[in-house]
Amino acid sequence: MTNPARLSPSRARALFREGLRAPTSGYSAGYAQANLIAVPREAAFDFLLFAQRNPKPCPVLDVTEPGETSASVFAGDLRTDLRTDLPAYRVYRHGELVEERSEVADLWREDLVAFLLGCSFTFEASLLEAGIPVRHLETGTNAAMYVTDRRCRPAGRFRGPLVVSMRPVPADRVADAVRVTSRYPAVHGAPVHVGDPAALGITDLDAPDYGDRVEVRPGEIPVFWACGVTPQAAVAASAPEFAIGHAPGHMAITDIRDSAYQVP
């Protein structure tokens, strides 16, 4: 296959639509990736408020009208369909994960409002450019993600723990990793925590709650960024009647350039 980094967003989405299943870290370099969470209209205000109150894990990039199956971040590609164009989905009923599948066309409902939230995969190209290695890109695996003991600010029916992604960073590059990622607040921005997993309630770095184990080598510090799987932990904790999310690490690839989310 072509180098996934070189795939255009629409080509990558077409591959996923045709059934390819893979974590999207490293795909379509230079284009922002997004987390998906879709909830019924009657829960949408509570969720949007939850996102507004927890902007580090839940930076909102786009919100659809009820029933809509595309979004403005896919501008220019009319074939894009949120129900088929991510590599994998998770389906929740009353907070319970009932199914993981490669498309959700037959489960989509007229009353679903889909939220697309920034993903830290977006700033990985900038980390690489700064000479900061990204281990899960080197190994071709998924990122490591953990449920922490930090609570999000609740909103209406939604509450739940903060979920983080972890990247091992050489100790002398931690400051650079902070500096580089802080310029991308819309895709989780600066780390929420550096260096002490126990202080986040993470007892075993080798056993992530989502994604794959990522080795932390001697001289490296585990650095934790807020993660867009947080809404799915909130769905699990709050049990709305129905919800659809992406499978962790299997993101929506947008047509928005990384640089559009860079400040200042």
Task: Give residues in contact with its own copies (CB under 8 A).
Answer: 44-45, 48-49, 52-53, 60, 63, 155, 179, 182-183, 185, 189-190, 263-264
Token duo for residue 153: 């600010």
Token duo for residue 134: 């990204």
Report the residue number, 19 or 45, with the smaller CB distance to its own copies.
45
Q: Min. distance of Cβ 83 from its own copies in angstroms?
A: 21
Report the residue number, 150 or 213, with the smaller CB distance to its own copies.
150
Report the residue number, 8 or 52, with the smaller CB distance to its own copies.
52
Distances (CA, A) of 118 to 57, 60, 106, 175, 229: 8, 6, 26, 22, 10
Cis? peptide before 264, omega within 30° of 0: yes
Q: Min. distance of Cβ 55 from its own copies in angstroms?
A: 9
Region of 171 please: left (phi>0), alpha (psi -120 to 50) or beta.
Answer: alpha
Report the residue number, 189 or 245, with the smaller CB distance to its own copies.
189
Find out whether 223 and 214 touch, Cβ atoms under 8 Å: no
Across 94-238, the runs of DSSP E, i.e. the strands, are 96-101, 112-118, 144-151, 161-170, 193-194, 210-211, 220-226
Q: Min. distance of Cβ 126 from its own copies in angstroms?
A: 12
Q: Min. distance of Cβ 166 from its own copies in angstroms?
A: 21
Residue 210 bridge partners (DSSP): 145
Report the residue number, 39 or 216, with the smaller CB distance to its own copies.
39
Report the residue number, 6 or 257, with the smaller CB distance to its own copies.
257
Distance between CA atoms of residues 38 and 8, nearest Å: 25
